[in-house]
Amino acid sequence: MNKIHEYLQLASRNYYAGVPIISDEVFDKLAESSGFNELGARQHEHIEKHYFPMYSLQKYYEDEGKESPLKGETNVSTSVKLDGAAISILYIDGKLSRVLTRGNGTEGTNITDKFLATKLIPHTIPNNDVIQITGEIVAPKLIENSRNYAAGSLNLKSISEFKTRSIEFFAYGIQPNQYEMFHQDMRQLKLWGFNTVLDPDLHKIFGCDGVVHRLDKYSEFYLAGHTSKYPLGMYALKERQACVETKLLDVVWQVGKSGKITPVAILEPVKIEDAVISRATLNNYAFIEALDIRIGDIVAVRRAGMIIPEICYKIDA
């Protein structure tokens, strides 16, 4: 197997387990350059198929010079893209029957017991059909590494510990749809007792990594079709964090508290925002190999989440 693909599979598994080893932007750049198009990460325990598949979102950066995926459309709904962990919730005959992690979008891990033991979501809804509701588990952004905290909560073995976690669920989808328009469905979910992504001021409380644009009318949304990875009637508008260029002077190996050995880049000092950066994480040897980084190269560096310095990519000579 392609070594970059091997590394991206590892990165994907870690991301859905709540312990990402690279940023979304670095992942996307490596995936695009190497032709990697696998969706999500397969789980290993209590695997079940989603009643409806959970697609990914196409990403759009305004600085790419490409047209907006929905250019010319006027009936478009917008909502925050919450940065957490996606789940699907299945109701049968009005009763909460199953909750799955997103997994690879086709199948996920059954975590129903955690939600039956809490009041994060309604246990009953006033609808006797088979209904799948999808959404995001998130934690307040005041919690350090809130995305990892939220995703890691779903992997906890102890229900007692899960109950102590400061997390919430926000719905962003219902299948089959109940009304003609997306915003009408979100209003209906609100009446059923759910938080939704159309709730106000979510960006002030929870971590967000973009704005979702989607065709509000379902007939237009479904007519737009989809690829194997994402629907074409919606996209996530993302803002790329600025990178600065500097020189890679050396690579040293650092032993963490857990005993894990991690390569660290020694950089020609460069100022990012209000900090002078001279070191950055290289994650592991596979990451170095995937980016083809060598001592003496000019590299692009940024502070992930405006905190942790990381190398994004090599600047070609």
pLDDT at 44 over 60: no
Rg value, the chain, Cα: 21
- Residue 289 confidence (pLDDT): 81
Of 238, 261, 287, the residue that ends a domain is 238
Rounded distance, CA 3 to CA 23, Å? 18
Confidence of residue 275 (pLDDT cuts 50, 70, 90): confident
- 234 in the same domain as 299: no
User: Are residues 136 and 82 in contact, defined by beta-carbon separation less than 8 angstroms?
Assistant: yes
- 227 in the same domain as 91: yes
- 148 in the same domain as 93: yes
Of 238, 258, 274, the residue that ends a domain is 238
Burial of 14 from C-beta contacts in 10 A (0-12 / 13-18 / 19+): middle
Alpha helices, H only, the chain: 3-16, 24-34, 112-116, 146-154, 159-163, 182-191, 218-223, 285-291
- 68 in the same domain as 120: yes
Could you give the angle at the alpha carbon of 270 between the alpha carbons of 269 and 272, nearest 5°?
140
- 188 in the same domain as 129: yes
- Residue 94 confidence (pLDDT): 94
- Residue 309 confidence (pLDDT): 83
CATH number of the domain that residue 21 is part of: 2.40.50.140
81 is catalytic: yes
Q: Which helix (H) or strand (E) holds 244?
A: strand 244-255
pLDDT average, residue stretch 273-278: 78
- 257 in the same domain as 191: no
- 194 in the same domain as 94: yes
Which one of 3, 49, 66, 81 is the catalytic residue?
81
Domain count of the fold of the chain: 2
Q: What is the mean pLDDT of the chain?
A: 87
Half-sphere exposure of 131 (CA within 13 A, CB side): 21
- 212 in the same domain as 188: yes
Summarised one tens digit per residue, pLDDT across range 140-162 is 999 988 888 999 999 999 999 99
Half-sphere exposure of 111 (CA within 13 A, CB side): 29
Confidence of residue 51 (pLDDT cuts 50, 70, 90): very high
Q: Rounded to two decimals, what is the model's pTM?
A: 0.73
- 53 in the same domain as 34: no
- 248 in the same domain as 191: no
Residue span of the structural domain in which 245 resides: 3-38+241-314
pLDDT average, residue stretch 181-188: 98
Summarised one tens digit per residue, pLDDT across range 196-229 is 999 999 999 999 989 999 999 999 999 999 998 8
- Residue 112 confidence (pLDDT): 95
Of 223, 238, 253, the residue that ends a domain is 238
The more confidently predicted of residues 166 and 9 is: 166
User: Are residues 151 and 20 in contact, defined by beta-carbon separation less than 8 angstroms?
Assistant: no
Cα separations in angstroms, 283 against 302, 309, 311: 14, 11, 10
- Residue 2 confidence (pLDDT): 60
- 14 in the same domain as 81: no
- Residue 32 confidence (pLDDT): 65
CATH number of the domain that residue 64 is part of: 3.30.470.30
- 59 in the same domain as 196: yes
Q: Which of the residue ranges 23-37, 107-121, 207-221 would you say has the lowest mean pLDDT?
A: 23-37
